[in-house]
A and B are shown apart, each in its own frame.
Chain A
Amino acid sequence: MLGKTAGGLYWMFRGLERAENNARLIEAGFRIALTRSTNTETEWKSVIITSAAQQGFTAKHSEFSSTNVIDYMLRDTDNPSSVLSVVKQARDNARLVRTALTTEVWSAVNETWMVITELLKNPVPDTDLPEVLSIIRQQSALVRGALHGTMLRNDIYDFCRLGTFIERMDSTARIIDVKYYTLLPSPSLVGSRMDNVQWETLLRSVSAHRSYRWAVEEEYTATNIANFLVLDRRMPRSLAYCAGQIVENLDYLSEEYGDRRPSRDMAEHMNARLKGRDIHSIIEEGLHDVLGTIISDVAALGAQIEKDYRFIH
């Protein structure tokens, strides 16, 4: 496979994952804005920070209002991470790697681009927001379904999956990090209403508020939520799950190509940090610091994969 193709697949799926994550972040923020009458600005600001878009946002807007944030995250083409930008970029990448995709996957991405471009042509009024966000998530699911259902399990598939999980791991780590303080054991806040809402938002940001109740317990507690999002391998957006998937996909590549490249060892190292860990020891070590290390590890791993598989040079 061409190095460029591997890169195109990887970035295409990073883009699609990012679009979906943005939709979730906005949904969680919107819910807070609906359920709380004051101080929604902090919530919207955290959405911007989570998607690492603070600099670009503040260059254009002075206020973290829901209108500003929603528009910037969904439609603003000056924002390289807006849904519109990443979907366009994913579709451009799909055109670039057209020969590596099944007709189903290509049609799904192309249709996603057509639907979302039309959907986001004009500012989205609050009344339409839930539907728009749900369509974005559905389109993303459509592409994923086509990928799972029709693609050969070969290196092409592995690069798609690597893009997905690198992006997802980075996103989950950022979401937890932005709100990590709500997870810190602080006796004065535990059990207070605000605390619960914060935690619920955190879970909603990764679509885990329901699965948490099924898999863990009905009560929100700081350590259990942290454990669920960081270490629980049943949870498809947890850090440990993503790390495990990355290692697995790099393993398949090693097998297919008959060699072992530096990214493989880096991923295993990253995975080992999370494997067999206890959430209490992580909190003790400092959740923020651990997450910071993970975010930079993920970035370094992404760069190494790019190098190992000759995306550019």
Chain B
Amino acid sequence: MTSQSQHFSEMMGQDSVRTPYVDYEAWFSRQDTARLSRKAKDAEAFFRRTGITFNVYGQTDAEERLIPFDLVPRILTAAEWAKLSRGIDQRVRAVNAFLHDIYNRQDILRAGIIPVELIQNNDAFLPQMIGFSPPGDVYTHIVGTDIVCTGEGEFYVLEDNARTPSGVSYMLENRETMLQMFPELFSKIKVQPVSDYPKNLRRSLAACAPASCEGRPTVAVLTPGIHNSAYYEHSFLADQMGVELVEGHDLRIVDGKIAMRTTEGHKVIDVIYRRIDDEYLDPLTFNPDSLLGVPGIMDVYRAGNITIANAPGTGVADDKAIYCYMPEIVEFYTGERAILKNVQTFRCSEADSLKYVLDNLADLVVKEVHGSGGYGMLVGPAASKQEIEDFRAKLKARPSNYIAQPTLSLSTVPIFTDAGLAPRHVDLRPFALVSPQGVHITPGGLTRVALKEGSLVVNSSQGGGTKDTWVLED
């Protein structure tokens, strides 16, 4: 396999296989392609039978879909991982400190590092959280930082995902599947295990129990229900942790605490790992039409009788407008330079940046500050002249609504096709757990891969797949 493209191939170096892939490549070259094809089909049948599927929103009766799994692992050396995990650890600590500050003293605003308007006009900023410190001062119990690689040791953080990152069940199931399919690989190549994640998650959540909790904390996972696209993951995590999977209507307030209805009466919950968004959490405080949440849970929370993970209002830290200040945020709270790079970001609210962006629209990606899911954005290199001109008008009308970034040359890792290996673009989402005892990051994470040739879109809703991610033992 040769990579003709100008993109960095994580497997193939300039003229030889890169170090992390040497052993794997040696194994792969001895494999019978027909056998691998069969294995790939077996894996798909296994995923279906196990119900590792996701629902597509707005299509309740539609077929449940599988996220395609590719059998070529994405491999990192222990040294690459050491740098990455140090960077994530630093960033996660900074995000937590930032959230605590923003909802309390607001030193960073007073120091003039972040403009006050960015916080004031931010929908994800919850006034209900002002002056309140969650148990253990932990806001982001679970973080899934999105990272891309553009060259040897060149890692960039794309997003901090401080709300309720998903995908960790795929990280775990992908490894299980690989162990089932290719046990011989794991005896040849020493890969750092990921299977402790559920145990660590439970431990980490329990360590954040409120002071009012006596004895062993009771943890529960709160799901919107079986029609949610990530329901499989919710049930998987509850099952693996050995805790109850609850919905809003299983819960009520009993003596000022949150309790779940069991066959033996109501039982108090100390820590709730919620997989529903802030706005649905409490109809009395947020969206009054929500049937998914628990009326009054915010009062219980503020009284210190329940831990909500992640804390409400963490979204203010993973906003695109805040993102571009992350290097400053890291430095402000940790006193260190940021280990992981941010993608260069032009704030169109600033005159110099705006001028640069307007002059270079054809080469940039321009995004709405509060937008998500790829809406309202311009991908310069892929846009027509007319589209660029239309966007120019919008940008001039409301510059502060936009940021711009250069298009990144994402690395590739090969996928297995019937015609052999073929390079595809990837990203990486490692998962970090935060508790008063520290930050714990599972080695590896979820690698998402754009299955279409040349595509940069790795989202599962748009034809992306996943890979097992290996961090080699030292």
**Does A110 lie within 8 Å of B51, measured CB to CB?**
yes
**Does B263 lie within 8 Å of A114, measured CB to CB?**
no
**Does B49 lie within 8 Å of A96, measured CB to CB?**
no
A6–B250 alpha-carbon span in the complex (Å): 12
**Does A110 lie within 8 Å of B235, measured CB to CB?**
no
Q: Which residue of A lies closest to B249 (CB)?
A: A4
Inter-chain contacts of B263 with A (CB < 8 A): 1-3, 6, 155, 257, 309-310
A309–B262 alpha-carbon span in the complex (Å): 8
Q: Of B51, B231, B261, which one neighbours A2 at CB under 8 angstroms?
A: B261
Inter-chain contacts of B244 with A (CB < 8 A): 2, 5, 99
Query: Nearest-CB distance from B261 to chain A (Å)?
Result: 5
A6–B264 alpha-carbon span in the complex (Å): 11
Q: Of A2, A92, A257, A309, which one neighbours B246 at CB under 8 angstroms?
A: A2
**Does A107 lie within 8 Å of B231, measured CB to CB?**
no
Within 8 A of B (CB), among A83-119: 92, 95-96, 98-99, 103, 106-107, 110-111, 114
**Does A110 lie within 8 Å of B50, measured CB to CB?**
yes
Query: Nearest-CB distance from A258 to chain B (Å)?
Result: 9
Q: Of B231, B236, B247, B264, which one neighbours A257 at CB under 8 angstroms?
A: B264
Query: Nearest-CB distance from B144 to chain A (Å)?
Result: 23
Q: Of B49, B50, B247, which one neighbours A4 at CB under 8 angstroms?
A: B247
Q: Which residue of B lies closest to A8 (CB)?
A: B226
**Does A107 lie within 8 Å of B239, measured CB to CB?**
no
Query: Nearest-CB distance from A246 to chain B (Å)?
Result: 17
- Asked if A310 meets B235 with Cβ closer than 8 Å, knowing A2-B246, A95-B51, A111-B49, the reply is no
Within 8 A of A (CB), among B236-293: 236, 238-239, 244-247, 249-250, 260-265
A103–B239 alpha-carbon span in the complex (Å): 10
**Does B250 lie within 8 Å of A2, measured CB to CB?**
yes
Considering only CB atoms and an 8 Å cut-off, how many residues of chain B contact the other chain?
22
Most buried by B among A103, A107, A310, A313: A310
B190 within 8 A of A: no
Q: Which residue of B lies closest to A77 (CB)?
A: B61
A3–B262 alpha-carbon span in the complex (Å): 4
**Does B246 lie within 8 Å of A110, measured CB to CB?**
no
Within 8 A of A (CB), among B28-77: 48-51
**Does B250 lie within 8 Å of A95, measured CB to CB?**
no
Most buried by A among B48, B51, B226: B51
Q: Which residue of B lies closest to A96 (CB)?
A: B226
Within 8 A of A (CB), among B306-356: none
Within 8 A of B (CB), among A1-18: 1-6
- Asked if A99 meets B262 with Cβ closer than 8 Å, knowing A4-B247, A110-B49, the reply is no
Inter-chain contacts of A1 with B (CB < 8 A): 262-264
Inter-chain contacts of B265 with A (CB < 8 A): 310
Inter-chain contacts of B247 with A (CB < 8 A): 4
Q: Which residue of A lies closest to B241 (CB)?
A: A99
A5–B238 alpha-carbon span in the complex (Å): 13
- Asked if A107 meets B262 with Cβ closer than 8 Å, knowing A96-B226, A98-B235, the reply is no
A181–B236 alpha-carbon span in the complex (Å): 52
Q: Which residue of A lies closest to B51 (CB)?
A: A110
**Does A92 lie within 8 Å of B250, measured CB to CB?**
no
A257–B265 alpha-carbon span in the complex (Å): 11
**Does B245 lie within 8 Å of A98, measured CB to CB?**
yes
Inter-chain contacts of B246 with A (CB < 8 A): 2, 4
A313–B266 alpha-carbon span in the complex (Å): 11
A18–B28 alpha-carbon span in the complex (Å): 50
**Does B250 lie within 8 Å of A4, measured CB to CB?**
yes
**Does B262 lie within 8 Å of A95, measured CB to CB?**
no
Inter-chain contacts of A92 with B (CB < 8 A): 226
Q: Of A95, A103, A114, A155, which one neighbours B231 at CB under 8 angstroms?
A: A95
Bitwise interface map of B from 418 to 429 toward A, beta carbon under 8 Å scored 1, else 0: 000000000000
Query: Nearest-CB distance from A150 to chain B (Å)?
Result: 14
Query: Nearest-CB distance from B61 to chain A (Å)?
Result: 10
Query: Nearest-CB distance from A88 to chain B (Å)?
Result: 10
Most buried by B among A98, A99, A309: A99
Query: Nearest-CB distance from A158 to chain B (Å)?
Result: 10
Inter-chain contacts of B262 with A (CB < 8 A): 1-3, 310
A86–B378 alpha-carbon span in the complex (Å): 48
**Does B235 lie within 8 Å of A2, measured CB to CB?**
no
Bitwise interface map of A from 141 to 167 toward B, beta carbon under 8 Å scored 1, else 0: 000000000000001000000000000
Inter-chain contacts of B236 with A (CB < 8 A): 98
Q: Which residue of A lies closest to B265 (CB)?
A: A310
Additional pairs, 4, CB under 8 Å, beyond known A2-B262, A3-B262, A114-B48: A1-B262, A2-B244, A110-B50, A257-B264
17 cross-chain CB contacts under 8 A:
A1-B263, A1-B264, A2-B244, A2-B250, A2-B261, A2-B263, A3-B262, A3-B263, A95-B235, A98-B51, A99-B244, A99-B245, A110-B49, A257-B264, A309-B263, A310-B262, A313-B261
9 pairs of A and B residues whose beta carbons are closest in the complex: A98-B235, A99-B239, A309-B263, A3-B261, A95-B226, A110-B51, A6-B263, A99-B238, A1-B263
Chain A interface residues (CB < 8 Å from chain B): 1-6, 92, 95-96, 98-99, 103, 106-107, 110-111, 114, 155, 257, 309-310, 313
